[in-house]
């Protein structure tokens, strides 16, 4: 057995106690600096561009879904605004006074007159126009059946609609009730704007005096957008932190 030692043994035996340090002996600050000095998988410029792209996409998602989140969160502070029987309401209220903004308002309504029924080509949705308050309705429900050949008394406030043929007598034999999201037609989102293009000629009023009602779209149905916001905010926070570190790293 020889007394000669290899260079590796020299380095080990010459180290005094406390000098030899392993990966586990390093504190968090040292490990973090070491991680950021390792060769990146992407060049710094490309990595920075990727971070900026993620920030832009997350910001776009936040802006484009802000009304859905506002509508969903608003449902935590109360139930739907009950508009009641629309025909009874119209006796004393010719215009619908509802404080609806771009996010829409959660409402419940009953006895809406159904006219100009239509269905989507893709199926799933039915549409109609309720002329008393100029409401275009989208629903997944079937149209209520109407009766013909039935005699009944017409209330005075409905006579002008019959005279202008906005309502036919059989339209008064049924009514629609629903709960969902009510928009002013001037604030309606792009996704349902084709409804106004279809029913617009029959509305005979400015858009700020007409409405779009999305039956079944309650605040609870919009909670996936709240989850999307949480994910986007987390992504923004993480990417900003990574971008700042990338800029500060020599």
**Got the DSSP string for 165-177?**
TSS-GGGGG--EE
Helices (H), 43-192: 44-64, 66-74, 86-90, 159-163
The alpha carbon of residue 160 and the mean position of all alpha carbons in its chain are separated, in whole angstroms, by 39
More confident residue, 199 or 120: 199
Q: Quick one: CA dihedral 125, 82, 155, 166, positive or negative?
A: negative
pLDDT the model gives residue 33 = 56
Cα angle at 100 between 106 and 180, to 5 degrees?
20
At how many degrees (to 10) do helices 44-64 and 223-248 cross? Answer: 150
Which whole number is the average pLDDT over 157-162?
90
Nearest to 61, CA basis, from 229, 226, 237: 229
**Whether pLDDT at 226 is above 80:** yes
**Whether pLDDT at 243 is above 70:** yes
Residue 20 pLDDT level (bands cut at 50, 70, 90): very low
Q: Cα(148)–Cα(141) distance, rounded to whole angstroms?
A: 22
pTM of the model: 0.77
**Whether pLDDT at 220 is above 80:** yes
Residue 89 pLDDT level (bands cut at 50, 70, 90): very high
Interstrand relation of 176-184 and 135-139 (parallel, antiparallel or unpaired): unpaired
């Amino acid at each position: 057995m020889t007394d000669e030692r290899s260079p590796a043994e020299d380095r080990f035996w010459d180290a005094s106690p406390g000098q030899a340090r392993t990966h586990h002996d390093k504190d968090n600050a040292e490990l973090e600096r070491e991680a950021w000095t390792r060769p990146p998988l992407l060049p710094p410029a490309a990595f920075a561009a990727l971070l900026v792209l993620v920030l832009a996409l997350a910001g776009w998602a936040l802006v484009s879904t802000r009304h859905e989140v506002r509508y969903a969160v608003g449902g935590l502070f109360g139930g739907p605004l009950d508009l009641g029987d629309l025909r009874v309401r119209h006796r004393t209220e010719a215009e619908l006074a509802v404080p609806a903004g771009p996010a829409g308002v959660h409402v419940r309504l009953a006895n809406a007159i159904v006219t100009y029924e239509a269905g989507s080509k893709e199926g799933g949705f039915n549409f109609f126009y309720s002329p008393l308050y100029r409401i275009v309705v989208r629903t997944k429900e079937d149209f209520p059946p109407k009766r013909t050949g039935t005699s009944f008394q017409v209330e005075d406030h409905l006579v002008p609609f019959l005279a202008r043929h906005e309502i036919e007598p059989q339209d008064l034999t049924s009514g629609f009730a629903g709960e969902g999201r009510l928009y002013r037609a001037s604030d309606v989102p792009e996704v349902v704007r084709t409804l106004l293009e279809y029913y617009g000629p029959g509305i005979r009023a400015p858009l700020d005096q007409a409405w779009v009602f999305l039956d079944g779209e309650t605040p609870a149905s919009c909670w996936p957008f709240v989850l999307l916001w949480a994910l986007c905010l987390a992504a923004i926070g993480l990417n900003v932190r990574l971008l700042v570190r990338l800029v500060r790293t020599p």
